């Protein structure tokens, strides 16, 4: 514990905002892991089962099956099945509305990680500059008083701040890219699932006589 306090103190004033950024980054990463686990489920196999049921005419069973699942994929499929008698452009709009809340909640706080990735090295660089200024001042003082400890203190301050800023940036960069990649995958799988189910619904409707389609719509 003493070594940690010594490390923070040796890094100078810039270490305090860096420590705050590191705590914030850890909290966000943990919160995002929980959020993606709760909201980012893509219900593997649901799309294939739904398409098969639609082709077999088991629309009610497909609807119940989708309603039992959670996540953007299941919600989009359920929206399509519940509004299958509407024109396709309207259904597509409803699917987009159903999926957006998930995507917005999954994207939450990601810009903070992205910003932290940029700010942390800059703060580390600022600490480096402050430390080097202290070093040059100590060198000037050493010539007058022979104080070499002040020189080493300034160099240490520069190195500690730089190392801390770079470590925070690396961690945030990895976390941001991981979550951004997962979000892109979830959006892509949701769009693919919606397209496949819409095509299956269109094929099913095409096989139904016009009179029965009008009756179902009414």
- 10-residue block means of pLDDT along the chain (218 residues)? 66 84 95 94 93 93 93 95 91 94 94 94 86 68 56 62 91 96 96 95 74 46
d(Cα 6, Cα 21) in Å, to the nearest integer?
A: 19
The confidence score (pLDDT) of residue 127 equals: 82
To which residue do tokens 């409707």 refer? 205
Tokens for 190?
A: 């949701």
Closest CA to 84 of 53, 43, 41: 53
CB 217 within 8 A of CB 85: yes
The confidence score (pLDDT) of residue 2 equals: 59
DSSP 143-197: HHH--HHHHHHHHHHHHHHHHHHHHHHHHHHHHHHHHHHHHHHHHHHHHHHHHHH
Longest CA pairwise span in the chain (Å)? 102
CB 86 within 8 A of CB 75: no
The confidence score (pLDDT) of residue 214 equals: 45
The confidence score (pLDDT) of residue 121 equals: 92
Which string of b and e fits 193-204 if b means at least 16 CB within 10 Å? bbebbbebbeeb
CB 156 within 8 A of CB 128: no
The confidence score (pLDDT) of residue 218 equals: 44
The confidence score (pLDDT) of residue 213 equals: 46
Alpha helices in 40-87 (DSSP H): 46-55, 59-67, 72-82
The confidence score (pLDDT) of residue 217 equals: 46
The confidence score (pLDDT) of residue 131 equals: 73
d(Cα 46, Cα 26) in Å, to the nearest integer?
A: 34
């Amino acid at each position: 514990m003493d070594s940690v306090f010594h490390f923070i103190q040796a890094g100078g004033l810039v270490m305090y905002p860096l420590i705050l950024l590191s705590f914030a980054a850890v909290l966000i990463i943990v919160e995002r892991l929980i959020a993606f686990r709760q909201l980012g489920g893509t219900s593997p196999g649901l799309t294939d089962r739904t398409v098969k049921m639609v082709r077999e005419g088991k629309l009610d069973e497909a609807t119940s099956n989708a309603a039992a699942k959670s996540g953007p994929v299941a919600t989009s499929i359920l929206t399509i099945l519940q509004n299958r008698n509407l024109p396709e452009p309207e259904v597509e709009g409803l699917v987009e509305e159903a999926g957006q809340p998930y995507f917005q909640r999954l994207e939450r706080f990601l810009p903070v990680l992205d910003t932290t990735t940029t700010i942390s090295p800059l703060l580390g660089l600022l600490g480096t500059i402050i430390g080097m200024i202290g070093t040059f001042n100590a060198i000037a003082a050493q010539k007058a008083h022979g104080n070499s400890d002040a020189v080493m203190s300034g160099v240490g301050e520069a190195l500690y701040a730089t190392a801390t800023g770079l470590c925070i940036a690396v961690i945030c960069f990895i976390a941001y890219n991981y979550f951004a990649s997962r979000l892109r995958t979830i959006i892509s799988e949701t769009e693919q699932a919606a397209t496949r189910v819409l095509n299956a619904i269109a094929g099913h409707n095409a096989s139904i006589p016009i009179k029965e389609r009008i009756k179902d719509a009414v």
